[in-house]
Amino acid sequence: MKLSVQEKQPMVYMVAIEGEVDMSSSPELRAHLAPLFRKGTSHVIVELSGVPYIDSSGIATLIEGLQLSRKSSIRFTLAGARPSVEAVFELAYLKGVFEMVPRIEDCLL
Protein backbone atom coordinates (compact mmCIF):
# COMPACT_ATOMS: atom_id res chain seq x y z
CA MET A 1 0.00 0.00 0.00
CA LYS A 2 1.17 3.53 -0.82
CA LEU A 3 -0.09 6.60 1.04
CA SER A 4 0.31 10.29 0.43
CA VAL A 5 -1.03 13.25 2.38
CA GLN A 6 -1.63 16.57 0.63
CA GLU A 7 -3.13 19.85 1.73
CA LYS A 8 -5.74 20.40 -1.02
CA GLN A 9 -7.00 23.72 0.32
CA PRO A 10 -6.13 25.59 3.50
CA MET A 11 -6.80 23.17 6.37
CA VAL A 12 -8.26 20.52 4.01
CA TYR A 13 -6.13 17.40 3.85
CA MET A 14 -6.41 14.46 1.48
CA VAL A 15 -5.02 11.03 2.23
CA ALA A 16 -4.65 9.18 -1.10
CA ILE A 17 -4.34 5.41 -0.86
CA GLU A 18 -3.10 3.00 -3.50
CA GLY A 19 -3.31 -0.72 -2.84
CA GLU A 20 -5.15 -3.01 -0.49
CA VAL A 21 -6.20 -1.81 2.95
CA ASP A 22 -6.00 -4.87 5.17
CA MET A 23 -4.65 -6.10 8.49
CA SER A 24 -1.03 -5.52 7.48
CA SER A 25 -1.52 -2.01 6.05
CA SER A 26 -4.16 -0.59 8.42
CA PRO A 27 -1.63 0.51 11.08
CA GLU A 28 0.16 2.64 8.47
CA LEU A 29 -3.13 4.26 7.46
CA ARG A 30 -3.96 4.93 11.11
CA ALA A 31 -0.53 6.54 11.61
CA HIS A 32 -1.18 8.93 8.72
CA LEU A 33 -4.78 9.76 9.66
CA ALA A 34 -4.52 10.39 13.40
CA PRO A 35 -2.21 13.45 13.27
CA LEU A 36 -4.54 15.22 10.85
CA PHE A 37 -7.18 15.54 13.57
CA ARG A 38 -4.78 17.50 15.82
CA LYS A 39 -3.80 20.30 13.43
CA GLY A 40 -6.90 22.48 13.54
CA THR A 41 -7.95 20.81 10.31
CA SER A 42 -11.38 21.59 8.89
CA HIS A 43 -11.78 18.59 6.54
CA VAL A 44 -10.07 15.21 6.01
CA ILE A 45 -10.69 13.38 2.74
CA VAL A 46 -9.67 9.78 2.21
CA GLU A 47 -9.28 9.14 -1.51
CA LEU A 48 -10.10 5.48 -2.19
CA SER A 49 -10.05 5.24 -6.00
CA GLY A 50 -6.73 3.36 -5.86
CA VAL A 51 -8.04 0.78 -3.36
CA PRO A 52 -9.17 -2.50 -4.95
CA TYR A 53 -9.85 -4.26 -1.63
CA ILE A 54 -10.55 -3.34 1.99
CA ASP A 55 -11.08 -5.76 4.86
CA SER A 56 -12.62 -5.36 8.31
CA SER A 57 -9.42 -3.96 9.82
CA GLY A 58 -9.35 -1.27 7.13
CA ILE A 59 -12.99 -0.45 7.83
CA ALA A 60 -12.20 -0.30 11.57
CA THR A 61 -9.37 2.16 10.89
CA LEU A 62 -11.72 4.40 8.92
CA ILE A 63 -14.30 4.17 11.72
CA GLU A 64 -11.58 5.36 14.12
CA GLY A 65 -10.98 8.30 11.79
CA LEU A 66 -14.69 9.06 11.75
CA GLN A 67 -14.81 8.97 15.56
CA LEU A 68 -11.80 11.31 15.80
CA SER A 69 -13.42 13.67 13.30
CA ARG A 70 -16.63 13.81 15.29
CA LYS A 71 -14.75 14.49 18.55
CA SER A 72 -12.85 17.30 16.84
CA SER A 73 -15.78 18.64 14.75
CA ILE A 74 -13.84 17.96 11.54
CA ARG A 75 -15.56 16.93 8.33
CA PHE A 76 -14.50 13.43 7.22
CA THR A 77 -15.20 12.24 3.68
CA LEU A 78 -14.46 9.08 1.72
CA ALA A 79 -14.06 9.81 -1.99
CA GLY A 80 -13.87 7.71 -5.12
CA ALA A 81 -14.55 4.25 -3.71
CA ARG A 82 -14.67 1.54 -6.35
CA PRO A 83 -17.88 -0.52 -6.51
CA SER A 84 -16.14 -3.49 -4.82
CA VAL A 85 -15.05 -1.30 -1.89
CA GLU A 86 -18.38 0.50 -1.72
CA ALA A 87 -20.08 -2.91 -1.50
CA VAL A 88 -18.10 -3.70 1.67
CA PHE A 89 -19.44 -0.52 3.30
CA GLU A 90 -22.94 -1.42 2.16
CA LEU A 91 -22.70 -4.97 3.54
CA ALA A 92 -21.51 -3.58 6.88
CA TYR A 93 -24.40 -1.06 6.91
CA LEU A 94 -21.87 1.78 6.97
CA LYS A 95 -22.54 3.46 3.66
CA GLY A 96 -24.96 5.89 5.30
CA VAL A 97 -22.69 6.42 8.30
CA PHE A 98 -19.81 7.86 6.28
CA GLU A 99 -19.98 10.80 3.93
CA MET A 100 -19.11 9.08 0.65
CA VAL A 101 -18.77 10.90 -2.66
CA PRO A 102 -17.96 9.51 -6.11
CA ARG A 103 -15.10 11.94 -6.85
CA ILE A 104 -12.79 14.12 -4.80
CA GLU A 105 -14.06 17.19 -6.67
CA ASP A 106 -17.51 16.51 -5.21
CA CYS A 107 -16.36 17.46 -1.71
CA LEU A 108 -14.00 20.36 -2.42
CA LEU A 109 -15.37 23.89 -2.57
Confidence of residue 109 (pLDDT cuts 50, 70, 90): low
State the maximum Cα–Cα separation within the chain, in Å, rounded to a whole number.
Answer: 35
**Res. 12: pLDDT tops 80:** yes
Domain at 42, CATH number:
3.30.750.24
**Res. 108: pLDDT tops 90:** no
Q: Give per-residue pLDDT as tens, 43-82.
A: 999 999 999 999 999 999 999 999 999 999 999 999 999 9
Q: Is the pTM of this model over 0.85?
A: yes
pLDDT more than 90, % of the chain = 90
Give residue 54's domain range.
2-107
Mean pLDDT across the chain, nearest whole number?
A: 94
Nearest to 69 by CA among 9, 15, 3: 15
Beta bridge partners of 51: none
- Number of domains the chain is built from: 1
Element (H, E) at 45: strand 43-50
